Copies of this chain bind each other. A is one copy, B any other.
Amino acid sequence: MRMSRDAMARHRKDIVAAASRMMRERGISATSVADLMQAANLTHGGFYRHFESKDALAAEAIAAAFDDHVRGLGTNIEKLGPEAAVEDYVGDYLTRRHLTRPGFGCPMAALGGDGAREAKVVQEAFAGGTRKLIDRLAAAQTGAPAERRAAAIRLLATIVGAVVMSRAVGEADLGDEILAASRERPAP
C-alpha cells in the first residue's frame, strides 16, 4: 500500500545505508537488489520506486560512504587538531579491525578495485568522494603548503594500497607485516 512521504524518505535512507555497508562488504556486483532490500526490511519489487537502476543506487551508496568516512576525519580534526587527528586516522586505518570490517571502513579500500570497471555515474561518485577526502587530509597536513596536497595524496595511496594488499593475501602474518611496514613513516 501507499506509504507516507516520511516513511518513504526513511525507506530510501535505509536502502542507501544498507547498500553502503553491504557493497563495501561484498563488492558492488555481488550485492543483489533483493538482498539489500531485505536488509532494509523491504521487498525487492519496490526498489525502482526509489532508484532508476542498481548503478544509480551504487553511486549514491558510495557517495554516502565517502561522506561518512570524511565526516569522521573532520570531527577528529576539530577535536584533536590536525596533526593528532591524521595520526589517529592512519593508526585506525592500518589495523586488523579495519581489515575485517570493510562495511564500516574506507570505501576506496573496499571498492576502489571495483570502481575501475563500473559505470560512469559510479566513477563520478568515487571522484567526488576522493576529492573531499584529499581536501580534508591536505588541509590537515603539516609541512610546506605547496607540498601538502601531494603529501596527502601519497599518504592516502600508501594506506589504501596497504589495506587492499593485506585483505587480498588473506594471511594474518603477511597482512600484519604489510600494515606494520606501512605504519612506519620515513622521517620527512
- Whether B126 contacts A184 by the Cβ 8 Å rule is no
**Which listed residue, B111, B130, B186, touches A188 by the CB 8 Å rule?**
B186
Interface status of A177 (Cβ within 8 A of chain B): yes
Q: In the complex, what residues of B have CB within 8 A of residue A127's CB?
A: 169-171, 174
* Given contact pairs A29-B29, A154-B182, A186-B151, A164 touches B161 in the complex (Cβ within 8 A): yes
Contact-residue bracket for chain A: 35 or more
The residue of chain B having its C-beta at the shortest distance from the C-beta of A129 within the complex is B169
Q: In the complex, what residues of B have CB within 8 A of residue A165's CB?
A: 108, 112, 130, 156-157, 160
A113 to B168, CA, bound (A): 7
Interface status of A39 (Cβ within 8 A of chain B): no
Task: List A residues 131-188 near B (Cβ within 8 Å).
Answer: 131, 149-151, 153-154, 156-162, 164-165, 167-171, 174, 177-178, 180-182, 184, 186-188
